[in-house]
Each structure stands twice: as structure tokens, then as C-alpha cells.
């Protein structure tokens, strides 16, 4: 293993994507070190951190690179998890992956990599960075099915200048093939899903450990009480499962969907399939935007995503003092406050902000 100072530190998670990111940088002649970071300090049956670290060690050994290990669990709890719980308590649906990228991976972890002597910090994210006349530009990945620019929109541009995304030009099948050719032991390891600190565990069971049940009525849009919910924080807009309503006397035998959360009265509002249009929003407002391009002063048109993997939706955007008002060409289903609205001009991610309210 090389003992030189690293030119690039790769965040090695124990998965195939970060392993191939390290492989490509090594093949390109960089002095590469790996960094395994743990962000969650509770070890239980659902936490895969111990196995992930062993996989990261195996990859580092195969590539002949130094592997550093660091725990950011305390800062993760303070900067990401505390916000996650506060948002759920307030009846919103947060996206901790967005906050984790801004605060941890490309925040404290980026600083830590610099302290280890690295000039650049790389990850296995599917996204591209390019020089533009106005500075660094974040672009969608070539593999549109895996593109992760949505999760990266909140990272400040100054931090993106120090980052490399080696997988931006590859698709997932090519990444696995490269890993297999290079003899990397994680070439067929399944992708991790869900939020890192929750893993595959039942979500409601996890939330109950931190937020007590707060039962209240389930009402139809015309104000009829149909049943009881255990807490608004267990539900998100558009959700069908978990309502335990079954057949309601005087109502059509159709599924029910969450249409709104009235936090002042602790009421969950639901609609049936024939009233699904009530789930649609034509307009939303965001909190302050992290701009990855010069902030527009005038109204402009752009493509917008209000959730990961959603096809681009055309909209007109009007800058406000703090955020942006977005008016969609086509009404959008189940837009949840607390999630992010992310703006695109063609391939380029312009930035985005947290959804505050919808119309």
C-alpha cells in the first residue's frame, strides 16, 4: 500500500459504486486513499455498518489503497437526524439524504478529507460536474435512471469545486462489469435502499422510538369522521397503505388516499379514488434556494422535480425574497411539504429548495 499523501480521497461505503469510483481514479493515475465514515452509532439487526466496513476494507485491500475510518455520528444526529425528527413532528415529510449530502458527506467529511491532505474528495454518486462560464455546474448523470443530482442540489457550489464524481458518464451495468473485471469483491452486492439510519426496518416502528403516538380523527374532505389515525407523522400525502379504513358506510367501495394534514386540529384528511384530483397541486413555494447557477432575478421557465426519479415537469418559476414560487404546466400529485423542489435547465441542475406550502 502506498504511504504518500492522498491526491484524492474516495468515500468508500462498502458498495459497488464507491468501489468503482476508487478503481477509476486509481487507473487514471491518482494517489487514492479510501475513507469509510459511519454516521449512525446504534448497532442492531437492521444496521449493516459492520458488514459495510468489512466490504470497504476488502475493496481497499484489492485496490492496494489506504483506508481511513471516521465516525460522524454525533454531528449526524445534531445536523441531520434532529432536523428529520423536528420535521416529522411538524407534520412534514423531510428528505434526510439531501441534508446528509450538504451537512455530512460534502460538509464535515469534505473538510476531514482536506485535513488528511487530499486535494479532491470523490464519491460514487451518479452525477457530473463541468466547468461553465459562471463556475462549476452540476449536471445529470448519463444514466438517467440512476441520476442523483436531485439529492446533491443543496450542496454549496464552493464545496462542489473540490469534488469528483467518476461514475457520471457510466451506467449501472457498466459499473458492475468494471467491478467484476477488476476482481472487486462487491461487484454483485445489492444496492442499499432506504434511509441510511433506518435501513430495511419497518419505518413506523422506528419513528415510534422517538415520537410518541398522537391519535386523532381521520376525516373526509366534507368533514365526516371516518376513523382514527395514530399520529400525523406516520402519513404522507398520496399514501394509500396503512389507513385501516376498510369499507365506510355510505361511501363507494374504493381505496382512500391521504389528501392533507391539519396539524392545528391533528386531523388527517382523506379522499377516495374518484376525488383523486384533490391530491393535485398546481403551485408550490420553497424556502431559500441553494443556487448552482447565477440566481435569476426575473421569472423564468425550467423543469422541476418534486421527488427523486420523477420525470421533469415543466413550470414557471418566480423568484421571491426568500425562495421561489413554482407554477406547474400540469398539476402535480401529492406534493409534500418538507420534500425538495429541484430545478433543471436541460441537463444542468440549477439548484432547489425545501417545499414550504402548496396550492
Catalytic (active site) residue 196: yes
**pLDDT of res. 277:** 86
Report CA dihedral (31, 59, 79, 71) to the nearest 10 degrees.
-90
Where along the chain do its domains lie?
Answer: 8-124+166-181, 212-278, 280-358
At residue 41, does pLDDT exceed 90?
Answer: no
Which DSSP state fits 104?
I
The rounded distance, in Å, linking the Cα atoms of 192 and 167 is 17
Q: For the chain, give the mean pLDDT.
A: 92
At residue 340, does pLDDT exceed 70?
Answer: yes
At residue 356, does pLDDT exceed 50?
Answer: yes
Angle at the Cα of 258 from the Cα atoms of 252 and 262, rounded to 5 degrees: 120
Q: Catalytic: which of 47, 109, 196, 349?
A: 196
At residue 229, does pLDDT exceed 50?
Answer: yes
280-358: same fold as 212-278? no
The mean pLDDT of 235-255, rounded to a whole number, is 76
The mean pLDDT of 191-198, rounded to a whole number, is 69
Catalytic (active site) residue 100: yes
Q: Catalytic: which of 100, 109, 293, 349?
A: 100
High-pLDDT (> 70) share of the chain, %: 92
The rounded distance, in Å, linking the Cα atoms of 231 and 208 is 10
The mean pLDDT of 172-183, rounded to a whole number, is 96
The mean pLDDT of 97-105, rounded to a whole number, is 95
CATH number assigned to the domain covering 212-278 = 2.30.30.280
CATH class assigned to 8-124+166-181: alpha beta
CATH number assigned to the domain covering 280-358 = 2.40.30.10
**pLDDT of res. 4:** 66
Q: What is the pTM of this model?
A: 0.92
Angle at the Cα of 90 from the Cα atoms of 85 and 96, rounded to 5 degrees: 40
The rounded distance, in Å, linking the Cα atoms of 254 and 245 is 11
**pLDDT of res. 263:** 92
Contact (CB, 8 A) for 110 and 100:
no
**pLDDT of res. 2:** 46
At residue 27, does pLDDT exceed 80?
Answer: yes
**pLDDT of res. 44:** 64
Residue 290's beta-bridge partner residues?
A: 352
Lowest mean pLDDT among 48-52, 79-83, 128-132: 48-52
Amino acid at each position: 500500500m502506498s504511504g504518500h499523501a492522498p491526491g484524492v480521497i474516495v468515500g468508500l461505503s462498502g458498495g459497488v459504486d464507491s468501489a468503482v469510483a476508487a478503481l477509476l481514479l486509481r487507473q487514471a493515475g491518482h494517489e487514492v486513499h479510501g475513507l469509510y465514515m459511519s454516521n449512525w452509532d446504534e448497532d442492531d439487526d437492521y444496521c449493516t455498518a459492520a458488514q459495510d466496513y468489512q466490504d470497504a476494507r476488502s475493496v481497499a485491500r484489492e485496490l492496494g489503497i489506504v483506508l481511513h475510518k471516521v465516525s460522524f455520528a454525533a454531528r449526524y444526529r445534531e445536523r441531520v437526524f434532529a432536523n428529520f425528527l423536528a420535521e416529522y413532528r411538524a407534520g412534514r415529510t423531510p428528505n434526510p439524504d439531501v441534508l446528509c449530502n450538504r451537512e455530512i458527506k460534502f460538509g464535515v467529511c469534505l473538510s476531514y478529507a482536506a485535513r488528511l491532505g487530499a486535494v479532491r474528495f470523490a464519491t460514487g454518486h451518479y452525477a457530473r460536474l463541468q466547468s461553465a462560464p459562471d463556475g462549476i455546474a452540476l449536471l445529470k448523470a448519463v444514466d438517467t435512471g440512476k441520476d442523483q443530482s436531485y439529492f446533491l442540489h443543496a450542496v454549496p457550489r464552493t464545496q462542489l469545486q473540490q469534488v469528483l464524481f467518476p461514475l457520471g458518464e457510466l451506467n449501472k451495468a457498466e459499473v458492475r462489469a468494471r467491478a467484476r473485471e477488476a476482481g472487486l469483491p462487491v461487484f454483485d452486492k445489492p444496492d442499499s435502499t432506504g434511509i441510511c439510519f433506518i435501513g430495511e426496518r419497518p419505518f413506523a416502528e422506528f419513528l415510534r422510538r422517538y415520537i410518541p403516538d398522537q391519535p386523532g380523527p381521520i376525516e373526509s374532505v366534507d368533514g365526516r369522521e371516518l376513523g382514527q389515525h395514530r399520529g400525523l407523522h406516520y402519513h404522507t400525502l398520496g399514501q394509500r397503505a396503512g389507513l385501516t379504513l376498510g369499507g365506510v358506510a355510505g361511501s363507494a367501495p374504493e381505496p382512500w388516499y391521504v389528501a392533507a394534514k391539519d396539524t392545528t386540529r391533528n386531523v388527517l384528511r382523506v379522499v377516495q379514488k374518484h376525488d383523486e384530483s384533490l391530491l393535485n397541486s398546481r403551485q408550490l413555494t420553497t424556502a431559500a434556494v441553494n443556487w448552482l447557477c447565477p440566481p435569476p432575478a426575473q421569472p423564468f421557465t425550467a423543469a422541476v422535480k418534486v421527488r427523486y426519479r420523477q420525470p421533469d415537469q415543466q413550470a414557471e418559476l418566480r423568484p421571491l425574497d426568500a425562495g421561489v414560487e413554482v407554477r406547474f404546466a400540469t398539476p402535480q400529485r401529492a406534493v409534500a411539504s418538507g420534500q425538495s423542489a429541484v430545478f433543471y435547465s436541460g441537463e444542468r441542475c440549477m439548484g432547489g429548495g425545501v417545499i414550504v406550502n402548496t396550492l
